[in-house]
């Protein structure tokens, strides 16, 4: 793969993570979720869910980057995060509901 194609693929992937984050933010606003812990959970789960959908590994360092945190990366941050087996078949909407314990 050429450098140009590699960078295009990387940009597309980052765009998908941004889109998932924006969908989570929209969902949080639509459902009037204001609790900081629930907001964090939903944003994190949106990224983990997307990585699962794309069948790619997601590390804590990746997650921090996609969510806009540019902190220094430690060895712990290289640990892979996976979506719980019970959630792998769910839609993003369903995962967000589960992550904040939201009942319709």
Give the pLDDT score at 68.
Answer: 81
Split at pLDDT 50, 70, 90, the class of 55 is very high
Separation CA 81–CA 11 (nearest Å): 21
Across residues 39-67, what is the average pLDDT? 93
* Per-domain residue ranges of the chain: 3-99
Whether 23 has a pLDDT exceeding 80, the answer reads yes
């Amino acid at each position: 793969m050429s450098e140009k194609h590699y960078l295009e693929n990387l940009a597309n992937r980052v765009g998908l993570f941004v889109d998932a984050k924006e969908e989570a933010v929209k969902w949080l606003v639509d459902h009037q979720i204001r609790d900081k812990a629930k907001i964090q959970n939903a944003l994190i789960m949106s990224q983990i869910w997307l990585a699962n959908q794309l069948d790619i590994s997601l590390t804590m360092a990746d997650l921090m980057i996609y969510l806009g945190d540019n902190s220094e990366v430690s060895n712990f941050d290289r640990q892979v995060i996976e979506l719980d087996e019970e959630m792998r078949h769910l839609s993003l909407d369903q995962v967000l509901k589960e992550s904040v314990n939201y009942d319709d």
